[in-house]
DNA sequence: TGAAAAAGTCAAAAATGATTGAAACCGGCT
DNA sequence: AGCCGGTTTCAATCATTTTTGACTTTTTCA
C-alpha cells in the first residue's frame, strides 16, 4: 500500500501529531464503518453481515475482524461515525447563509434535504432495528438524543426573533419534524408526486403563520 | 385437541360449508399467522424465525412446516391475514357513527388510533424490511396499495360535502397521513408528551380550515 | 382402516468469532 | 547503509452456532 498518499474517503479527524504511517491506516477503520453504513442503506440492518461489510470495504473478513473484533463493534463505530457525519452535514446546511433571507424556507429546505439523504436512511434502519434490539438501542440512544438537542438548538438559532413565544414555536418544530420525516419515510417505498410539493409549500405557509411573519405573496411554486 | 370449540383467536373467514372438522383445523393456520404477526411486533421482521413462530403459536416446528412449507409461505399468509384484519378494523372505526357529528375529529382520531395499534407496527416492520427485500416487497405491495385505496375512499365517504374541491382535499389527506404516521413512527422509539396533543389539535384545526368548516370554539383540550 | 395433523430427526447452508500465519513497517543498532 | 526484533496490518482457515427445509414417524379423528 501507500500510506502517505492515501486514497481513502476524505473524512477522518486529522490528529495534529499522528505521525506513524501505521496509525494513519486508521483510515481503514473509517473505510470499514463507511462500508457498513452503505450496507445498512443497501441491504438493511439485519442483512448487513460481516462478510458483506468486508466485501464492500475491499478487505478480507479476517482483516476487518482485526480492527473490530466483533460485528457489534463495527456497528458501534458505524453509529458513532454516522452520527458525527450527520451532525456536521446538518450544521453546515443550517448555517449556510440563506440565499434570500427567507429563514422559514431555508430551515424547511435544509431538513427536507437532510431526511432525503442516504445518511437518514441508514439512521432510520438502525432506529427501526433498535426497536426490538435493546443492545442496539443502548448504542443508538445517545447519538439520537444528541442529534435532537442539536436540531432544537439549530431551530432556536435560525429564528432568534421567536424567543419567548414557546408554545407556538414548539408546535411549529414538532409539526415540521413529523411532516418531513413522515414524508421521507413514505418516500422510501412510494415515489414522490407533485402533490407532495404542495405539502411542503403548505408547511412553509403554516410555519410563517405560527411565527407571525407576513405571507409570501406569489411564490406558490417551490423548485 | 378439540376441533369443535376452538380456542383460537376470533377471525377466519367462516366458509359456509366447510364441514370436516379436519378442515376446521385450518384455524391452526390462523394461529400460526397471528403468531407470526406478534413476532414481527415483538422481535422485528428479520429476527422472526420459523422456530420462534412455531413456539409462539404453541406448535412444533415440524407441525408448522406441514401447513406452510417454507418461511416465506408463512410470511405470505401473515401479510394477507394482517391486511384483511387491518382493513376490517379501519373500516369499522371509520364507519362508526361519530359521537358528536364532528367528522374531522372522528377521522383524525380513527387514523390516529389505527397507527398506534400493534397491527400498524407489524405492517411497518414489513414495509421497512421490504425496502431492501424485493421478494417481500412484491408480496407486500398489493396489500399496501389496496389499503391506500381504501383509505382514500374512506376519506371521500367521511367528507361527502368536499366533492369537487380536489386540491385542498388531497392536501388535507396528505398532511394528515404524514403527520399521523410521522408521529406514530416517532413514538415507536420516543415517548409521547403533552406537546403532541397540541399537534393533533392543530391538525384538526387546519383540516377544518381547508374544508371551509367553522372553527371549533372552546375545545382546545383533546382527551 | 386410512388420511390428515402433529411431532421429531437430519443434513445443508450461512454467519460468527477465534486462531494461526504471512507481509509490511517502525525503531534501533552495528 | 544494512540487518534485526517487535509491532501492526492483512489474510486464511477452523469450529461453533443458528436457521432452514426435507424427511420420517407418531397421533388423532372421521
Mean pLDDT of B42-64: 90
* Alpha carbons A167 and B167: distance in angstroms, whole number: 30
* Residue-level pLDDT at B23: 57
Scanning every residue of chain A, which has its alpha carbon at the shortest distance from the alpha carbon of B186?
A178
Domain contains B220: no
Domain contains A177: yes
Domain contains B102: yes
Closest to A44 (Cβ–Cβ): which among B132, B195, B198? B132
In tens, the pLDDT along B163-217 reads: 756 888 999 999 999 999 999 999 999 999 999 999 999 999 999 998 887 776 6
Domain contains B11: no
Distance from CA of A93 to the nearest CA of B (A): 23
CA A19, C1' C25: Å apart?
13
Closest to B131 (Cβ–Cβ): which among A174, A177, A189? A189
Q: Are B141 and B56 in contact (CB under 8 A)?
A: no
Q: Which three cell numbers mark A95?
A: 448555517
Mean pLDDT of B11-28: 50
State the residue range of the domain holding B59. Answer: 21-211
Q: Give the confidence band of A127 by pLDDT, cuts at 50, 70, 90.
A: very high
Hey, CA dihedral for B215, B216, B217, B219, is it positive or negative? negative
Domain contains A217: no
pLDDT above 90 covers a percentage of chain B that reads: 50
Give the DSSP letter string of chain A: --SSS--S-S-S---TT---HHHHTTHHHHHHHHHHHHHHHHH-STT--HHHHHHHHTS-HHHHHHHSSSHHHHHHHHHHHHHHHHHHHHHHHHHSPPTTS-HHHHHHHHHHHHHTSHHHHHHHHHHHHHHT-HHHHHHHHHHHHHHHHHHHHHHHHH-GGGTT-HHHHHHHHHHHHHHHHHHHHHHTTS---HHHHHHHHHHHHHHHHHHTPPPPSS-----
Give B65: exposed, middle or buried? Use CB within 10 Å, 0-12, 13-18, 19+. Answer: middle
Domain contains A32: yes
Domain contains B160: yes
In tens, the pLDDT along A2-41 reads: 333 333 333 333 333 344 444 545 678 888 999 999 999 9
The answer on pLDDT for B22 being more than 80 is: no
* Residue-level pLDDT at B164: 57
Domain contains A147: yes
Is strand D within 7 Å of residue A67 (CB)?
Answer: yes
The answer on pLDDT for A215 being more than 60 is: yes
Measured CA to C1', what is the nucleotide nearest B27? C5
Distance from CA of B15 to the nearest CA of A (A): 35
* Alpha carbons A14 and A160: distance in angstroms, whole number: 34
The residue that leads in pLDDT, B8 or A182, is A182
What's the structural domain count of chain B?
Answer: 1
CATH number of the domain to which B51 belongs: 1.10.357.10
Distance from CA of B35 to the nearest CA of A (A): 16
DSSP state of B160: G
Mean pLDDT of B57-85: 90
Q: What residues of A are in contact with residue B205 (Cβ under 8 Å)? A: none
Burial B13-48 (b: 16+ CB within 10 A, else e): eeeeeeeeeeebebbbbbbbbbbbbbbbbbbbbbeb
DSSP state of B48: -
Amino acid at each position: 500500500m501507500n500510506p502517505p498518499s492515501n486514497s481513502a474517503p476524505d473524512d477522518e479527524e486529522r490528529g495534529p501529531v499522528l505521525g506513524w504511517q501505521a496509525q494513519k491506516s486508521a483510515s481503514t477503520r473509517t473505510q470499514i464503518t463507511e462500508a457498513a453504513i452503505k450496507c445498512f442503506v443497501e441491504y438493511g440492518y439485519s442483512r448487513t453481515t460481516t462478510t458483506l461489510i468486508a466485501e464492500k470495504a475491499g478487505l478480507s473478513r479476517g482483516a476487518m475482524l482485526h480492527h473490530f473484533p466483533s460485528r457489534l463493534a463495527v456497528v458501534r463505530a458505524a453509529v458513532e461515525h454516522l452520527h458525527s457525519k450527520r451532525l456536521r452535514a446538518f450544521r453546515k446546511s443550517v448555517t449556510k447563509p440563506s440565499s434570500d433571507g427567507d429563514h422559514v424556507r431555508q430551515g424547511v429546505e435544509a431538513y427536507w434535504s437532510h431526511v432525503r439523504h442516504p445518511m437518514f436512511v441508514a439512521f432510520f434502519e438502525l432506529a427501526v432495528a433498535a426497536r426490538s434490539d435493546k443492545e442496539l438501542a443502548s448504542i443508538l440512544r445517545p447519538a439520537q438524543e444528541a442529534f435532537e438537542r442539536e436540531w432544537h438548538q439549530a431551530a432556536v438559532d435560525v429564528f432568534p426573533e421567536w424567543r419567548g413565544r414557546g408554545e407556538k414555536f414548539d408546535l411549529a418544530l414538532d409539526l415540521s419534524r413529523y411532516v418531513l420525516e413522515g414524508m421521507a419515510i413514505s418516500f422510501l417505498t412510494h415515489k414522490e408526486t407533485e402533490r407532495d410539493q404542495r405539502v411542503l409549500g403548505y408547511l412553509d405557509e403554516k410555519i410563517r403563520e405560527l411565527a407571525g411573519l407576513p405571507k409570501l405573496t406569489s411564490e406558490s411554486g417551490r423548485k
